[in-house]
């Protein structure tokens, strides 16, 4: 079958499915990252020294290690540990095995969480001290203060950094192709390229797929930035 | 009959606008070699633009500018040739912060004129001595006062041995106690035969330095003459008003 | 998780440490290359001329908008497949064309150039306009102005960003282990395949990278201090 008889030599459908998987991994890992990031930032900003140090250890270690290595660690060591822990704690039956998708998403989310922690922390610190004083003077309940005063302002400061981390997340999702068990868009491209010897075309297609994700993301981020502008933050 | 010596600077019907705002309005001017011209006038009169056109930092849109007979086109090599003869001292000094006073002065002679390092440094030292800063040659600008920095800037311009020296409000960014030392330094260059064009608000200094005073307003040269002429017998209403404002603030 | 410390100490770490020069070589050479090419790219990004700016922005988008892995595969497999067999086997360039190292280095350099250019542009834009004017007034050539006046000041401004970028580059070098280059991770993976042990090679690699990153970070601090002298 020649290259042009079916979309991309019959690989068209597989590539689209691979793209879908890549997007799913990106979105889920980013969400997990936000959770880790919020927890981490809260810990780093807390009064308790132990929390600050713990979070500091988290961000320092994760940011010092290559992402690919962290993914491998998660799959070959981390997953096993988590499984045995779950069985030990009675949360899962013997022989329990984590879904690889979950492992990938948590691993990537764990990595992104470290960077999101730093971004959120910087964003909160960028809020002028006077805001806190004004809130106390007005006797605002802490939750209101956090939800209506801190969060919106921090969000505006953090948007750029969070956007960048999202762009990285979509690219880091390609790392799962190395594990061999996922049919993400890069893995499918690699297989197709090796089978047909049309290396340039298939890798270019993979690149184009990621580029499109990037461009759409950038457009959405710009739209988001414009919508938040009227929030007027110092 | 001996031919007239070439004027140092000539402006013929020069006009320039920034976007839609006219800044120089049909300016015609001749400055002879050795003249010391001071340009004064209210803000926005076009004084800085005038002198920045002389060494090509601004590009005029209409008219002709000639420096030592050479016409200013946009051409790179003509600009370079002109800039070798014209030195400039800026309001904000613009010293290179990562270089010592000595290095600031010697970099142009070394890289533009190809002078050997030792000779360039010797020249730099002698000029720093002339502006009374020989002992500070190895200091970085961050460790010099404003007045000292500006004097280094003057030495730096002079190291290229220009025929013409442009000074764009040389003391406007200085704290008052340092203004005099810089003005004295500039006046001290009077005997060198250097053609000088200086934009300034310092009227006492203008009297000491200038062989001719130009009053500009709204992009035009309104009056021209010796300082005594303009200060003591201002012809135009605009100049009279300007002088009145200056005297009121002294 | 059962770590065999003797195995880690005698069987894993020596090999990993022997691979550190490879990791460092990749990092340093691509850092140098990207610094060299990053300057003209940074200038092009800021150029007023559209025919210079647009290709530069396109290149930047391409490099920063696609995963590094894709770029590596494209260069190694893609470029590799385009080169005629004859050149591969019998030409004077064979050692280079047949060695994965050069493909990996090329991919790293091409990618890093885009990031470095963006940072350099930030630095160059931060230099006071008056510096340009003083250099122009003195008649300094464009090359001299760039190398002796503008770049030193730009570098002083963005050094922390460049130091951070260097560490990111160090971490990205692990990706070339996927194309048979034996850097620290590549060696660790080889040990994994050969001995079927997982914990020691990966944890050993993690330790090595931690130390490398830590050392590089520490080395950057005195330089940052020295650059503050001028401000």
- By C-alpha distance, the chain A residue nearest C172 is A66
pLDDT digits (tens, 9 = 90+) for C130-168: 999 999 999 999 999 999 999 999 999 999 999 999 999
Binned at pLDDT 50, 70 and 90, residue A8 comes out as low
Q: If you count them, how many residues does chain B have? A: 250
Q: Give chains near A: 3+ CB pairs under 8 A.
A: C
The answer to whether the CB atoms of C137 and B142 lie below 8 A apart is no
pLDDT for C210 beyond 50: yes
Name, of A64-73, A147-156, C9-18, C72-81, the range with top average pLDDT: A64-73
User: pTM, whole model, 2 decimals?
Assistant: 0.87
- What digits encode the pLDDT tens for the residues C104-122? 999 999 999 999 999 999 9
Bridge partners (DSSP) listed for residue B199 = B39, B168
C80 at interface of A, judged by CB pairs closer than 8 A: yes
Max Cα–Cα distance, chain A, nearest Å = 76
With an 8 Å Cβ cutoff, are B86 and C149 in contact? Answer: no
B67 has a pLDDT exceeding 90: yes
The yes-or-no reply on C/B contact (3 CB pairs or more, < 8 Å) is yes
The residue ranking higher by pLDDT, A110 or A80, is A110
- The residue count for chain C: 231
Q: Is C171 on the interface with A (CB under 8 A)?
A: yes
Please list every residue in chain C whose beta carbon sits closer than 8 Å to the beta carbon of residue A64.
167, 209-210, 213-214
Q: Do C133 and B112 touch (CB under 8 A)?
A: no
CB contact under 8 A, B108 and C139: yes
Distance CA A198, CA A176 (A): 22
CA distances for B190 relative to B165, B193, C15, C188, angstroms: 11, 7, 76, 76
pLDDT of residue A233 exceeding 60: no
| The listed CATH number (3.40.50.720, 3.10.105.10, 1.10.1750.10, 1.10.3720.10) that belongs to domain A5-231 | 1.10.3720.10
pLDDT at position B246 is 77
**Interface mutation vs chain C, best among A68, A82, A196, most C CBs within 10 Å:** A68
The b-or-e profile of B94-118 (16+ CB within 10 A means b, else e) is bbbbbbbbbbbbbbbbbbbeebeee
Q: How do B21-31 and B36-40 pair as beta strands?
A: unpaired
Helix extents (H) in chain B:
47-54, 76-85, 101-111, 117-130, 146-158, 176-187, 203-209, 227-232, 237-248
Helix (H) or strand (E) holding C216: helix C199-227
Q: Which two tokens stand for residue B44?
A: 């926005």
Average pLDDT over residues B37-62: 91
CA nearest A179 in C: which residue? C178
Contact between A203 and C77 using a beta-carbon 8 Å cutoff = yes
Better pLDDT: B78 or A27: A27
- B122 pLDDT above the threshold of 90: yes
Q: Which domains does chain C have, with CATH numbers?
A: 5-230 (1.10.3720.10)
Q: Give the ranges where C46-84 is alpha helix by DSSP (H).
A: 50-65, 68-73, 80-82
How many other CB atoms sit within 10 Å of the CB of residue C43?
A: 18
B166 versus A157: the higher-pLDDT residue is B166
The pLDDT, as a whole number, for residue B4 is: 64
Neighbouring subunits of B (3+ Cβ pairs under 8 A): C
The pLDDT confidence band at residue C229, using thresholds 50, 70 and 90, is low
Interface contact flag, B112 C148, Cβ < 8 Å: no
B213 bridge partner residues: B38, B225
C175 within 8 A of C76, measured Cβ to Cβ: no
The pLDDT, as a whole number, for residue C6 is 86
Question: B4 vs C92, which has greater pLDDT?
Answer: C92
Report the pLDDT averaged over residues A198-208: 93
């Amino acid at each position: 079958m020649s290259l042009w008889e079916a979309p991309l030599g019959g690989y068209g459908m597989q590539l689209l499915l691979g793209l879908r998987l890549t997007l799913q991994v990106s979105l889920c890992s980013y969400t997990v990252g936000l959770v880790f990031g919020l927890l981490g930032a809260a810990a780093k900003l807390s009064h308790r020294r132990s929390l600050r140090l713990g979070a500091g250890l988290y961000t320092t270690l994760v940011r010092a290690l290559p992402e690919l290595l962290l993914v491998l660690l998660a799959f070959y060591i981390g997953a096993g540990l988590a499984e045995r822990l779950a069985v030990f704690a009675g949360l899962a039956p013997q022989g329990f095995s984590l879904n690889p998708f979950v492992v990938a998403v948590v691993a990537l989310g764990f990595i992104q969480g470290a960077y999101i922690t730093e971004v959120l922390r910087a964003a909160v610190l960028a809020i002028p001290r006077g805001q806190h004083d004004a809130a106390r003077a007005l006797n605002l309940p802490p939750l209101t203060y956090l939800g209506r005063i801190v969060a919106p302002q921090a969000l505006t400061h953090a948007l750029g950094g969070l956007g960048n981390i999202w762009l990285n997340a979509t690219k880091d999702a390609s790392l799962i192709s190395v594990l061999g068990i996922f049919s993400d868009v890069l893995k499918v491209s690699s297989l197709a390229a090796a089978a047909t010897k049309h290396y340039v075309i298939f890798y270019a297609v993979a690149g184009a797929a990621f580029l499109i994700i990037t461009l759409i993301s950038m457009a959405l981020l710009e739209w988001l930035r414009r919508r938040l502008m009227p929030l007027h933050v110092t | 009959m001996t031919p007239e010596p070439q004027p140092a600077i000539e402006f013929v019907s020069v006009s320039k606008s920034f976007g839609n705002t006219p800044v120089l309005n049909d300016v015609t001017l001749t400055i002879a070699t050795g003249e010391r011209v001071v340009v004064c006038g209210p803000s926005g009169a076009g004084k800085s633009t005038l002198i920045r056109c002389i060494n090509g930092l601004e590009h005029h849109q209409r008219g002709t500018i000639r420096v030592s007979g050479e016409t200013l086109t946009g051409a790179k090599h003509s600009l370079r040739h002109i800039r070798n003869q014209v030195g400039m001292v800026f309001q904000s000094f613009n010293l290179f912060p990562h270089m010592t006073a000595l290095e600031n002065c010697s970099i142009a002679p070394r890289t533009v004129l190809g002078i050997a390092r030792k000779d360039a440094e010797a020249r730099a030292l002698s000029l720093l001595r002339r502006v009374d800063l020989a002992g500070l040659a190895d200091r970085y600008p961050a460790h010099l006062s404003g007045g000292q920095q500006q004097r280094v800037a003057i030495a730096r311009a002079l190291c290229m041995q220009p025929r013409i020296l442009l000074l764009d409000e040389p003391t406007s960014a200085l704290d008052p106690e340092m203004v005099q030392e810089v003005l004295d330094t500039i006046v001290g260059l009077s005997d060198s035969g250097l053609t000088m064009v200086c934009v300034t608000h310092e009227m006492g200094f203008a009297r000491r330095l200038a062989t001719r005073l130009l009053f500009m307003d709204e992009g035009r040269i309104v009056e021209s003459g010796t300082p005594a002429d303009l200060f003591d017998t201002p012809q135009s209403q605009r100049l009279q008003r300007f002088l009145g404002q200056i005297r009121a603030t002294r | 998780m059962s770590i065999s410390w003797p195995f880690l100490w005698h069987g894993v770490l020596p090999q990993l440490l022997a691979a550190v020069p490879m990791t460092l070589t990749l990092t340093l050479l691509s850092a140098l290359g990207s610094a060299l090419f990053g300057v003209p790219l940074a200038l092009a990004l800021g150029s007023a001329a559209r025919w210079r700016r647009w290709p530069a922005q396109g290149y930047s988008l391409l490099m920063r908008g696609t995963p590094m892995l894709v770029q590596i595969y494209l260069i190694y497999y893609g470029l590799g497949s385009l080169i005629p067999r004859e050149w591969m086997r019998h030409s004077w360039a064979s050692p280079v064309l047949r060695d994965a190292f050069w493909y990996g280095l090329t991919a790293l350099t091409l990618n890093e150039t885009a990031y470095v250019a963006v940072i350099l542009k930030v630095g160059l834009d931060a230099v006071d306009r008056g510096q340009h004017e003083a250099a122009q007034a003195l008649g300094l050539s464009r090359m001299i102005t760039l190398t002796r006046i503008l770049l030193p000041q730009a570098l002083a401004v963005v050094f922390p960003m460049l130091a951070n970028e260097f560490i990111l580059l160090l971490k990205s070098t692990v990706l070339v282990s996927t194309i048979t280059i034996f850097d620290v991770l590549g060696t660790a993976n080889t040990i994994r395949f050969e001995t079927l042990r997982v914990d020691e090679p990966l944890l050993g690699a993690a330790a090595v990278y931690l130390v490398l990153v830590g050392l590089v970070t520490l080395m950057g601090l005195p330089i940052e201090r020295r650059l503050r002298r001028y401000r």
